[in-house]
Amino acid sequence: MSEVVLGVTGGIAAYKAAELLRLFTESGHGVQVVPTRAAGEFVGHATWEALSGRPVATEVFSDVRNVPHVGIGQRADLVVVAPATADLLARAAHGLADDLLTNTLLTARCPVLIVPAMHTEMWEHPATQLNVATLRARGAVVLEPDVGRLTGADTGKGRLPDPERIFAVAAQLLRPQRSEDPDLQGIRVLVSAGGTREYLDPVRFLGNRSSGRQGMAVAEAAVARGAEVRLVAANVSLPTPAGVELTRVISTAQLRDEMVARAPDADVVVMAAAPADFRPAETAESKIKKSPDGAAPELKLQENPDILAELARTRTSGRPLLVGFAAETGDESATVLDHARAKLARKGSDLLVVNDVSAGRAFDTLDNEVVVLSGDGGAYNVPRGPKIEIAQAIWDVVCQRLEHDPHNATQV
């Protein structure tokens, strides 16, 4: 059982922390709630005590014999602050220790997850952004807030992500770490997920069976390892992982435009989406009707752009590091890995994650197994497991490349 500290600050989103607390306790974790004084204006201590089964820790000078301002942080396996106000971000960034929660943050030597929630103007203020950058540079995982309804009639960026999504990131941070600091800290990651659609008419489209689950897991795992993550999702209906900046697209052309525009700002690009290889040469403005004589319409196709190959061709000095995905089946001419190695050479990416999709494997499933091929001839077998574990294994390989890449050495 892990020991989790849940810090709660004085924002209207504090009520959501009660649901997050329930998720931790029902998963078997011990939770010590440390609310600020202002948090008590929104949720009473009786709620925290009833849900955690423990007395609430509130003041530095309460229970002095057990030295709570030091001991709580020292015993923690994970510290989560949700919601985190602009005031908490400022005090934590400047190393203040003016209440029990900021003392706990200073003494903790475990992963720290901070989940901001505030009005858009406060989140976008240069002071807040500088404080977030400072905390991330020190190893804290600071999630991006959601866009949505805020206090009153306001809508914008600053909403607390749903508790289930915060818990998913926390669960990844509780995994055994190779080092004290997240290994993607400071790395800017661009991930694509899902399958594109090419419309024949307003109703019908050409597409594929990609659900986006693996790409979403790649983004989720990257956030948990400290990366700043942008996600471009094509027709994905799954919940967006907490802490990512999301852009939605439909067609391959839209996906290509977003990836080409954003790739120069990324350190790592993971092309997990499945773009449609072809699109109709023409798209009907109204639904195509059946012919009275039963004749099927003739469908003319043209090739879509090869996004991964373009990213490889246009990058400079080997940046960003490119990770492609290949859904392959073997045939009479070659095996799955033979086809994949040819694709890796043709595309020009650094790594290629290979799925054997024979008999419908990998599509819209909760688990997967892959082989990660590298341009230097290496092959890393990742055994079957949940897609979030597959994603972690992929990042293990990427981090090895970053550590040995002179272009990235200063960023790790």
Tell me, what CATH number does 142's domain have? 3.40.50.1950
239 and 151 in a single domain? The answer is no
- Beta bridge partners of residue 368, listed in sequence order: 385
Distance CA(77)–CA(31), nearest Å, equals: 10
Find all residues with CB under 8 Å of 344, minimum gap 6, and list them. Answer: 324, 326, 352, 373, 375
Q: Are 154 and 302 within one domain?
A: no
The token pair at 14 is 């504090």
Asked which of 130, 149, 173 is the last residue of a domain, the reply is 173
Looking at the structure, do residues 334 and 367 belong to the same domain, yes or no? yes
**Which of these three, 173, 204, 225, is where a domain ends?**
173
Instruction: Find the CATH number of the domain harbouring 336.
Output: 3.40.50.10300
Whether 155 contacts 227, CB under 8 Å: no
Q: How many structural domains is the chain composed of?
A: 2
State whether 10 and 114 are in the same domain: yes
Q: Walk along the chain (412 residues) and give the pLDDT tens digit of each residue.
A: 799 999 999 999 999 999 999 999 999 999 999 999 999 999 999 999 999 999 998 776 666 555 566 889 999 999 999 999 999 999 999 999 999 999 999 999 999 999 999 999 999 999 999 999 999 988 899 999 988 888 877 889 999 999 998 999 999 898 765 444 578 988 999 999 999 999 999 999 999 889 999 999 999 999 999 899 999 999 999 888 888 999 999 999 999 999 999 999 999 999 999 999 999 999 999 999 988 888 888 889 999 999 999 999 999 888 999 999 998 888 888 899 999 999 999 999 999 999 888 766 656 677 889 999 998 889 999 999 999 999 999 999 999 999 866 444 333 2
3-state secondary structure of 30: strand
Q: Are residues 150 and 10 in the same domain?
A: yes
Do 63 and 199 lie in one domain? The reply is no
181 lies in a domain? no
Known catalytic residue: 208? Answer: yes
Q: Residue 119's domain spans which residues?
A: 3-173
Kindly state whether residue 251 falls inside one of the protein's structural domains.
yes
Statement to judge: residues 157 and 209 lie in one domain: no
**Domain shared by 197 and 92, yes or no:** no
Query: How many CB atoms are closer than 10 A to CB 395?
Result: 24
Is the domain of 151 the same as that of 197?
no
Q: Which of 66, 103, 131, 208 is an active site residue?
A: 208
Instruction: Give the DSSP H/E element, type plus range, for residue 232.
Output: strand 228-234
Predicted structure pTM score? 0.79
DSSP secondary structure, 284-344, as one string? -SSPPPPPTT-PPPP--EEEPP-HHHHHHHH-BTTBSEEEEEEEE---SS--HHHHHHHHH
Q: Of 173, 204, 219, which residue constitutes the final position of a domain?
A: 173
Q: Which two three-digit tokens encode residue 116?
A: 């901001």
What token pair was written down for 308? 């991964």
Same domain, 393 and 307: yes
Listed in sequence order, the residues at least 6 apart from 102 whose beta carbon sits closer than 8 Å to its beta carbon are 88, 91, 92, 96
Residues 381 and 271 in one domain: yes
Residue 232 and residue 159 share a domain: no
